[in-house]
């Protein structure tokens, strides 16, 4: 693998978000990370960097700064697409086959400033994020890259296996180790044309509650709720335990999400049993399309 060649396909991403944006309080109004050139001026990144962005700037490995447009963000995979508004003069990175990536495989994660970390895949498993996000088969690597957001995860053949999303901690051999979670690249081709032409995949939006949850001993515990979101309006509170969705018990965070998404279209009313201060009660939450709360990208 030619690391120098890889570096020339990764850019730094800087996004400015309006102060009144729905995600501004949680994700900030200035977001910085990386992106991978996958076509002519087309850059793949992690979506939270560009959600509701009013300005996006790309910086090449040589220091060239180019204005860009936030083209699309897919809530299900977490991928984001950016279109450069001027020539980048950078080669596209070829897609690898992330389905064939195995635990123990050598990989490299490269960010847009030229920093690289040689690592290995330490896990391939389900990942449930606290913000109503679920991947069936995420890629986890160690050691972790210090600037992981949108960074390119590249296999030994120099092909793109995924995009960096998170920094987490894993217990390994009795010690705690920092790891990165990456979104596998094989999730992108089925939706890429839709993202480029429609700005979103051609599929119904999932019902969304606006609840940030954690799993504790198999129980789903509410950490907070999005201001003005469906859960907040229904009266869900920090510390509530979500025990049932409709007439079925909830067995962990991933199971909660799957039951939520199988409950009907976005906008459907959802009965949820909660435990609060040791007492059970039912709440009726009218779900929503998460995208309806977000500012739409504006072409600069």
* Section 200-210 average pLDDT: 95
Tell me which of 299 and 133 has the higher pLDDT.
133
What is the pLDDT confidence band of residue 72, given thresholds at 50, 70 and 90?
Answer: very high
β-sheet bridge partners, residue 116? 110
Is 3-92+191-198 CATH 2.40.10.10? yes
What is residue 296's predicted lDDT score, i.e. its pLDDT?
Answer: 82
What is the pLDDT confidence band of residue 257, given thresholds at 50, 70 and 90?
Answer: very high
Q: What is the mean pLDDT of the chain?
A: 95
CATH topology of domain 207-293: Pdz3 Domain (2.30.42)
Contact of 93 with 152, CB cutoff 8 Å: yes
CA pair distance 209, 232, nearest whole angstrom: 8
Domain with CATH 2.40.10.10 in the chain: 3-92+191-198, 98-187
* Section 248-255 average pLDDT: 96
Tokens of 200: 């979103």
What is residue 273's predicted lDDT score, i.e. its pLDDT?
Answer: 97
* Section 74-91 average pLDDT: 96
* 3-class SS of residue 299: coil
Question: Residue 298: pLDDT above 80?
Answer: no
Contact of 224 with 188, CB cutoff 8 Å: no
* Section 275-294 average pLDDT: 96
Question: Residue 299: pLDDT above 60?
Answer: no
For 177-191, 252-266, 285-299, which range has the lowest pLDDT when averaged over its residues?
Answer: 285-299
CB-based contacts of 255, cutoff 8 Å, min separation 6: none
97-115 pLDDT, tens digit each: 999 999 999 999 999 999 9
CA dihedral 138, 141, 146, 149 (to 10 degrees): -20
Domain with CATH 2.30.42.10 in the chain: 207-293
What is the pLDDT confidence band of residue 87, given thresholds at 50, 70 and 90?
Answer: very high
The domain 98-187 is placed in CATH, from the list 2.40.10.10, 1.20.1250.20, 2.60.120.10, 2.70.98.10, at 2.40.10.10
Contact of 126 with 135, CB cutoff 8 Å: yes
Question: Residue 173: pLDDT above 90?
Answer: no
């Amino acid at each position: 693998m030619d690391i120098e060649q890889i570096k020339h396909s990764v850019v730094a991403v800087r996004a400015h978000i309006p102060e009144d944006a729905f995600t501004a309080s949680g994700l900030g109004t200035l977001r910085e990370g990386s992106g991978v050139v996958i076509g002519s001026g087309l850059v793949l990144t992690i979506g939270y960097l560009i959600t509701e962005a009013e300005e996006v700037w790309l910086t090449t490995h040589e220091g060239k700064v180019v204005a860009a447009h936030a083209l699309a963000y897919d809530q299900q995979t977490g991928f984001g697409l950016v279109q450069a508004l001027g020539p980048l003069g950078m080669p596209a990175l070829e897609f690898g086959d992330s389905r064939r990536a195995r635990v123990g495989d050598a990989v490299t994660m490269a960010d847009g400033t030229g920093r690289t970390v040689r690592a290995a895949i330490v896990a391939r498993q389900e990942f449930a994020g606290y913000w109503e996000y679920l991947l069936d088969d995420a890629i986890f690597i160690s050691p972790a890259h210090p600037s992981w957001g949108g960074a390119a995860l590249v296999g030994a053949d120099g092909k793109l296996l995924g995009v960096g999303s998170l920094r987490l901690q894993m217990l390994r051999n009795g010690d705690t180790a920092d790891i990165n979670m990456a979104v596998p690249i094989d999730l992108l081709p089925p939706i890429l044309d839709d993202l480029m032409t429609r700005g979103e995949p051609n599929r119904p939006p999932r019902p969304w509650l606006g609840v940030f949850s954690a799993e504790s001993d198999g129980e789903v515990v509410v950490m907070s709720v999005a201001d003005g979101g469906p859960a907040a309006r229904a009266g869900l509170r920090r510390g509530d335990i979500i025990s049932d969705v409709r007439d079925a018990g909830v067995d962990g965070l991933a199971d909660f999400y799957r039951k939520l998404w199988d409950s009907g279209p976005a906008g459907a009313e959802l009965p949820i049993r909660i435990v609060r201060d040791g007492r059970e009660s039912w709440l009726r939450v009218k779900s929503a399309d998460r995208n309806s709360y977000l500012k739409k990208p504006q072409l600069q």
